[in-house]
Amino acid sequence: MMPPFLSFLPVLLFVCVLLGAILAGRVPPALALAYLVVSIVCFALYALDKSAARRGERRTPERTLLLLGLAGGWPGAVLAQQWLRHKTRKQPFQHLFWLTVALHVGLAAVLAWQLLAWQF
């Protein structure tokens, strides 16, 4: 299991790179807004799932949580996992989650590289 403070580092690094790209004029500010909205939705979904788990009600499928993270909500998911202490002990989920984070960041990097190459 990753120490909690280390979980925040990828989010911090991602936010810094994204803001740097926006300030450099390489990425539209709307992209940051899109990440913020999807992250808030993802955080809320984790909170609802945690609440349902406590009440013994129907849960949000893990697949849904993973796909929303893959779609760009992973920063909100990381924050929710740490602040709500939800899904942090379930190692199979954590492995898949960090795999989706790596996949998202990798795809975003490839797209950014293609956009930069296209501009020059």
pLDDT digits (tens, 9 = 90+) for 96-110: 999 999 999 999 888
Q: Does 67 score more than 70 pLDDT?
A: yes
Residue 2 confidence (pLDDT): 59
Cα–Cα dist 50/4, whole Å: 18
Q: Quote the pLDDT of residue 36.
A: 96
DSSP per-residue string spanning the chain: ---HHHHHHHHHHHHHHHHHHHHTTSS-HHHHHHHHHHHHHHHHHHHHHHHHHHHT-PPPPHHHHHHHIIIIIHHHHHHHHHHHT-SSS-HHHHHHHHHHHHHHHHHHHHHHHHHHHHH-
Q: How far apart are CA 59 and CA 61, in angstroms?
A: 6
Q: What is the pLDDT of residue 1?
A: 56
Residue type (1 letter), 46: Y
Instruction: Look over the chain and give the mean of its residue pLDDT values, rounded to a whole number.
Output: 90
Nearest by Cα to 60 from 89, 95, 93:
93
**113 — pLDDT class (breaks 50, 70, 90):** confident
Whether the per-residue pLDDT at 117 is higher than 80: the answer is no
Q: Please, which residues have CB within 8 angstroms of residue 36's CB and are 6 or more apart in sequence?
A: none
**What residues does each domain of the chain span?**
4-119
